[in-house]
Chain A
Amino acid sequence: MANVISDEVIDYVGILAKLELSPEEKEAAKKDMGRMLDYIDKLNELDTSDVEPMSHVFPVHNVFREDVVTNGDDREQMLANAPEAKEWQYQVPRTVE
């Protein structure tokens, strides 16, 4: 069973993944994803109806700690990594007119 990825699906994935694809990239992605899904469909050979999905191999629980600040003030170093900063804040393109 060959998976055919439509333009609508790849556009939707682009929205979810926040990626902007050129027409060439889009065509390549459609082909790539179709092939990958054909391969992944192999999993349908397995009967997993009685199997619980396993997200972690060990039982994991929420880990809580007291809400106390332990790190120092790294504001300057953190902002040094920002593409744009102004008056100790991250600067982004205008969002509200």
Chain B
Amino acid sequence: MELWQMTALELGRKIKDKEVTAVEAAKASLAQIRKVEGTVHAYVTVDEEGALLRAKQAQEKIEAGELAGPLAGVPVAVKDNICTKGMRTTCSSRMLENFVPTYSADAAERLTDAGAVILGKTNMDEFAMGSTTETSAFGVTRNPWNPEHVPGGSSGGSCAAVAAGECFLALGSDTGGSIRQPSSFCGVTGIKPTYGTVSRYGLIAYGSSLDQIGPVGRDVADCAALLEVLAAHDCRDSTSVARKDTDFTAALADDVKGMRIGIPADYLGEGLDAGVRRAVLEAAQVLKERGAVVEQFDLSLVEYAIPAYYVIASAEASSNLSRFDGVKYGYRCEDAEGLHHMYKKTRSEGFGPEVKRRIMLGSFVLSSGYYDAYYLKALRTKALIKKAFDEAFAKYDVILGPAAPYTAPRLGESLSDPIQMYLGDIYTISVNLAGLPGMTVPCGMDAKGLPIGLQLIGDCFKEKNILRAGYAFEQARGRAPLADVGRLTEAEKKEGEAR
């Protein structure tokens, strides 16, 4: 096996055993980036020089015995809405094209403290608003399994980079499914932790009450190891929760005997692709054969999650993004007639259409006269959704379903109809509203050769349940393969020939 094909933990062990150095590992990742990045375009910034320097420093610390964690020396990527001191952080927006943070996000700091080597920053939907990574101001990212298809979003760059072997692990962020849906489309594993588990300090805010940073990796164990590094109380994030049970790798036992797993019947209904449905039910069967108790149940209110989400997330976005005014950092327009005009022109030129759409909707639902009817109504709906999950978790340890209703759409098919695109988040969005942990684990391929993702949802602070279920499934099915970048399906080869 070549270096770039290993899991993060396998590589970490080899580095620890002095079979490989951190510098060799970084060089292997950079070589893979050079090889496939022309096709995939997962990164906004690749910091080759800096990465090699950081790898050298990590190696010195490993040799001095100062770094002994499982991820010491492992090359990683960071989503471009997570601040990295001295390294450009753009949110894939023209607004922040030249922004260089003066501090690092808590999550990025913890990565570095664990000895991981940051290679660069990954592409995303602008300000994390989108489900395809097509709203990036710096070009689309392509699905490593088939470059004619999207990688999903908004953490499309992070998931594509992991799938294509361009890094061993990556940080993503998830406000309505932005880790779990692209993980599903790219055939990688991704976790959105319980709200408050990973500090949001230094994460450029979209919907603050929903945003969580989480790991994207090649298998469940890699993600558990990274989450263990990331999860910690941080006094710089007022919603950070002091948890004790963050030894997530302890949950990696191949044992689901007696585990109660519920499949919401509403997650298998209208709109779900037949191939995805089959793969998800097969995965449930695998867990059943290994001793889990699996049954279907009615999780109510599923269809209300998306409208509630778009009110709440847009409202928070309109407030959070008011800071981009062209004064202290970021883009500023030319030729403004006075200060107020400068604000307006700067924002109109600096933001893309999807961002403007959500800022306007958010401003509207918060405006006097509409606040009760829209914003408070959505917050009341959120309370009902949380209650529905509370009732479900009184009966089940894990809720199982698809991560997305379909596999990766073709490039250019999604943006023309925003509501249709938003509907694709139906299985992931309620998890953010209720603050729950959710994980995507690859569970098969569709007829077009595109990955299908299984979603496992746990009660608040019960990441260990979903890790255990995901790990047991992976042990039974074997680890999902990396993408063979550039490979075309038979159908597409024929189509290409016909053209």
Question: Interface of A with B (CB < 8 Å)?
Answer: 9-10, 12-14, 16-21, 25, 29, 32-33, 35-37, 39-46, 48, 51-58, 60, 62-63, 65, 71, 74, 77-78, 80-84, 90, 92-95
What's the tally of chain B residues with a CB closer than 8 Å to chain A?
68
Interface residues of B (CB under 8 A from A): 98-100, 102-103, 195-196, 209, 235, 238-239, 241, 301, 303-304, 307-308, 310-311, 318, 322, 325-332, 336-339, 341-345, 347-348, 351, 356-357, 359-367, 374, 376-384, 386, 418-419, 434-435, 460
State the CA gap A92–B380 with chains docked (Å): 42
Q: Chain B nearest CB: distance from A95 CB in Å?
A: 4
Q: Is B359 in contact with A17, judged by CB distance below 8 angstroms?
A: yes
Residues of B within 8 A of A54 (CB): 379-380, 382-383, 386
Closest to B85 in A: A77
> 24 A-B pairs, CB-CB below 8 angstroms?
A14-B360, A16-B363, A17-B356, A20-B344, A20-B345, A20-B347, A32-B357, A40-B365, A46-B304, A48-B384, A51-B383, A52-B380, A53-B383, A55-B209, A57-B435, A63-B238, A65-B235, A82-B328, A83-B330, A84-B332, A90-B327, A92-B327, A92-B339, A94-B339
B339 touches A95 (CB 8 A): yes
Other than the given A19-B351, A32-B418, A33-B361, 5 more pairs (CB < 8 A) read: A20-B348, A43-B308, A48-B383, A65-B235, A93-B338
Inter-chain CA distance A95–B328, complex, in Å, is 16
Closest 4 CB pairs of A and B: A53-B379, A83-B332, A57-B435, A48-B380
B376 touches A19 (CB 8 A): no
Question: Bound state CA distance, A48 and B341, in angstroms?
Answer: 41
In the bound complex, CA of A94 to CA of B362 (Å): 30
- Find out whether the CB atom of A17 lies under 8 angstroms from the CB atom of B307: no
Known: A42-B303, A83-B327. A36 touches B379 (CB 8 A): no
- Report chain B residues within 8 Å CB of A20: 344-345, 347-348
Chain B residues near A43 (CB, 8 Å)? Answer: 304, 307-308, 311, 377-378, 381
Bound form: Cα–Cα A18–B434 in Å: 31
**Shortest Cβ distance from residue A10 to the other chain B in the assembled complex, whole angstroms:** 8
Q: Indicate if the CB atoms of B318 and A17 lie closer than 8 Å.
A: yes
Task: Decide yes or no: A13 and B364 within 8 Å by CB, A40-B374, A43-B308, A83-B332 being known contacts.
Answer: yes
